[in-house]
Homo-oligomer: A and B are copies of this chain.
Amino acid sequence: MALAEAILVCLTDRPMSGYDLAKTFDASIGFFWRASHQQVYRELAKLRERGLVKSSEIEQSGKPNRIVHTITTAGKNALKSWSQKPSRVPSVKDELLVKLYALEHVDIPALREQLEVRLDHHRAILNAYHKIKERFYDGKDLTISEQGKHIALTMGIRSEKEMIKSYEEALVMLGQVGS
């Protein structure tokens, strides 16, 4: 399971609390691997047990104390050996495509609306990607670490653009159905 490794990857950047990690999984690395805060906290406990991170509580007044997690040497080794194992093809599960596939048995106006919603979603993500790209990567000398993130981002941008075109095309094709 790669949630563990995704967390370790985040911690190579800097030590973080569960709360920080949960936010990260809602943005940057979350573009490639999604996780909720409950998943993050549970996985952190396991990582600590396995000795891949070490955790220390930091006193705060007012707010609850932060527990900050740091990747250990064992954690870095685990990342390296994970990187050598084959990566699974992510399994496709898209209700919207199933609905399109089942066009005859479906409420078409409702489906059109869902396609519009999905379209907006991908436009928003593309926008977010573009902003990150401009802000952090365009016209700069990149370190190896930044180059990796830049490549991943570039792939994301391409795929979002294409999904947008796909959904637009699907809406056009849907408009012609039955005619």
Contacts and interface: CB of A to CB of B under 8 A. Distances in A.
B103 A2 contact: no
Contacts of A76: 105
Contact of A79 (B90, B106, B111, B143): B106
A98 B2 contact: yes
Contacts of A94: 32-33, 87, 90
A170 B144 contact: no
B177 A121 contact: no
A2 B148 CA distance: 35
A165 interface: yes
Tell me how many chains of this kind the complex includes: 2
A89 B151 contact: no
B93 A34 contact: yes
B80 A106 contact: yes
Given A98-B32, A151-B174, A103 B144 contact: yes
A12 B105 CA distance: 8
A138 interface: no
A14 interface: no
